Chain A
Amino acid sequence: MLFTYNDITKDVVEKPDVCIIGSGAGGAVMADVLSGAGLDVVVLEEGGYYTKDRYSTYKPAIAMKILYRDYGATIAFGKNPIMLPLGRAVGGTTVINSGTCFRTPDNVLSDWAERYGVENASSKEMEPYFQQVEKTINVMPVSPQVLGKNGLIFKRGADALGMSNGMLMHNMINCHGCGRCAFGCPHDAKQAVHLNFIPSAIRNGARVYANARAEKITVESNRVTRIEGSIINEQTGNKLFKLTVSPKLLVLAAGSIYTPYILEKNNINLSPELGKNLTIHPAVRITAMFDEIIQGYKGVPQGSYVDAYSSEGIILEGIFVPPEIGLPILAPIGMKNKEIASLYDHLAAFGVMVSDKNSYGRVKVGVDGRPFITYHFDPYDFKKLVKGIAIASEIFFAAGAKTVNPAIYGIKEFTGPDDVAQLFTKKIGITSVEMMAFHPLGTARMGELKSHTVVNSFGKTHGLENLFISDGSIFPTSLGVNPQITIMSFSLRNAQYIVENKEKFLNHD
């Protein structure tokens, strides 16, 4: 069953085998596998339950208000604040993500084994989990029919320069190429987890509570005994009813920001590493003006990519947004804003993302009681970002751009490929680049090296007997690619581990 605040008329009391906090990439898979194995599962999700009928009526800016946390303006503070949007809905961030699918790179898996002692997670061992997840969410390459001109143009430029590129893999069925992946797919083409793992868990008997925020976690004798929270009115944000869940096992899957936050807020200090080691995969968007009509908002916004520099930790992926989301950032105020708005059909946009090798962040409870995120962007990683901007600019010019806007404060838009050299001759400070990030990971990292990690190789916390973590927070380092497949596959593997050892984790006498 799925309950929203509308269905609930009194305080909720539950005593399931397993309680899962969060219904995103990590939580949904857990819920499906554990309920499929006959366990009694309750899922608590702070966000609402939205179907395509609801969000297909939302304009992108409204979708940001409703489907994202804090209007999409969650911020990582540091020398330069970085926008770090998070989803909040049944299905978590998968409801508003771009749908790009990458397996965990082999070198990343072997690095985790070597440096953190992560066991049983070689690419060979992960293969069946990747396969099962990809099958469930229908991963396939984006078809040229729905790629749209924005993706095609960038491919054209990369081809002209002989740079390795291709179509991205996406979780989709019958994509219409309507360009709205990040605002809730109006055709249910994007296979976010509220369309597969969650319904399957419900069929298995799981009870999913939407608008249900977990607030207090009680630990007694090294075990989680109770979770208390509130049923929230989606319209007003007011608390309606109390929620008390007393599970045999708790799985925290609230995401890389809210998992360490909720633990710290409850003084559950599992390890000095909790909340630290945040990686975010920093990104920038570069835009270019063409003579030809592009209408980049038609087509899969993140359909193609350039991986020629992935060994250096630089990846370029499509990232086109509609005018109401793009213009506030890329056009200055005044008449120029209106001028660029009227030329929006001629704009192309692409993203550059760099893996955080030396950069790191932290999640803490802020003075206002909310999560406070900090991020130190290391100059070495920043250099990679600037190099990525240069590569994207060259690709745009090779594709025939008239001008390229590198999105760097103090640098005028480029009018030809020769201008790109400025990126290496001028001093560019970290604060002069408008950055964003979409892939927070690492705040409760896994491994057998207890002094450096928070959970073991299967997500069980080192400190408590019946607490698992299963979301983006468990990954020890940046992946260098989009993380949803990694999160879902590890969740699947870790859920099976719980099932195999259920006597040990669930029974307590």
Chain B
Amino acid sequence: MAIKELKVFDQKLYKIVHAITDTIIPPGGAFDVDPNVVDPVQLFDNYIDSMSTLQLKAIKAVIYTIEYMPMATRLKRFTSMTPDQRLKYLQGWENSRIFSKRNIFLVIKMLVLMSFYSDDTVADAIHYHPECLIKD
């Protein structure tokens, strides 16, 4: 996939973040959107563009931790895992008994999903059409 206009992530990070977003919101399932139309990495990247340098550094650090931490136990980086292995691994973060690990992952998950579900194509796909109860 061509790397589009990114403001925060470089090519290396794009690859890791792509693996993360693909695991958080995998293709298929209850609804689908064309990955050529909706790129969750780009949405995520553009959403966090006005964060402070410190906040961005923290986010990048978490992304690299997600990528390299499995090296210690599985001798594999996150991006080298199969989709199933990636899901199990990230579920480990999401449901960790260590609440700080859980919360750190929650931040990434929130930013990915907030930007993803804000997209019009995605809103359409889940039939989310906000409107007023009383029209003008």
Contacts and interface: CB of A to CB of B under 8 A. Distances in A.
Contact of A337 (B24, B106, B111, B114): B24
B99 interface: yes
Contacts of A145: 133-134
B109 to A, nearest CB: 6
Interface residues of B, number: 45
Contact of A334 (B91, B130, B134): B91
B6 to A, nearest CB: 17
Contacts of A159: none
- Please classify how large the interface on chain A is, using the bins under 10, 10 to 19, 20 to 34, 35 or more: 35 or more
A344 B118 CA distance: 14
B113 A324 contact: yes
Interface string B34-76: 0000000000000100111011000000000000000000000
B132 A177 contact: yes
Contact of A323 (B30, B95, B102, B126): B126
Dominant SS at the A interface?
helix
Contacts of A335: 26, 28-30
Contacts of B52: 237
Contacts of B118: 59-62, 324
Interface in A440-458: none
B35 to A, nearest CB: 14
Given A298-B131, A341-B117, A345-B127, A332 B99 contact: no
A81 B114 contact: no
Contacts of B107: 73
A409 interface: yes
A333 B87 contact: yes
Contacts, number: 119
B131 A81 contact: no
A324 B29 contact: no
A325 interface: yes
A328 B54 contact: no
A392 to B, nearest CB: 22
Contacts of B113: 324, 327-328, 337
Contacts of A180: 130
Contacts of A323: 117, 123, 126, 128
Contact of A177 (B51, B116, B134): B134
A409 B87 contact: no
A80 B91 CA distance: 20
Nearest to A342: B30
Contacts of A341: 30-31, 117, 126
B123 A329 contact: no
B90 A333 contact: yes
B3 interface: no
A357 interface: no
A338 B26 CA distance: 9
Which of B29, B94, B126, B133 is the most central at the interface, judged by chain A CB atoms within 10 Å of its CB?
B133
B50 A409 contact: no
Given A176-B134, A324-B113, A338-B30, A333 B24 contact: yes
Contacts of A64: 114
Contacts of B47: 61, 65
A60 B114 CA distance: 9
Interface string A333-365: 111011101111100000000000000000000
Nearest to A430: B99
25 contacts: A59-B118, A60-B118, A61-B114, A62-B118, A73-B107, A176-B135, A177-B133, A178-B130, A179-B130, A297-B128, A297-B130, A298-B130, A298-B131, A322-B130, A324-B114, A324-B115, A327-B117, A333-B87, A333-B109, A334-B26, A337-B25, A338-B25, A338-B31, A341-B31, A409-B95
Q: What 7 pairs between A and B have smallest CB-CB spacing?
A: A177-B133, A324-B117, A176-B132, A328-B113, A342-B30, A328-B110, A178-B132
Given A328-B111, A341-B30, 8 more contacts: A146-B134, A176-B134, A178-B130, A237-B50, A328-B106, A328-B109, A328-B110, A335-B29
Interface of B: 23-26, 28-31, 47, 50-52, 54-55, 87, 90-91, 94-95, 99, 102-103, 106-107, 109-118, 123, 126-128, 130-136
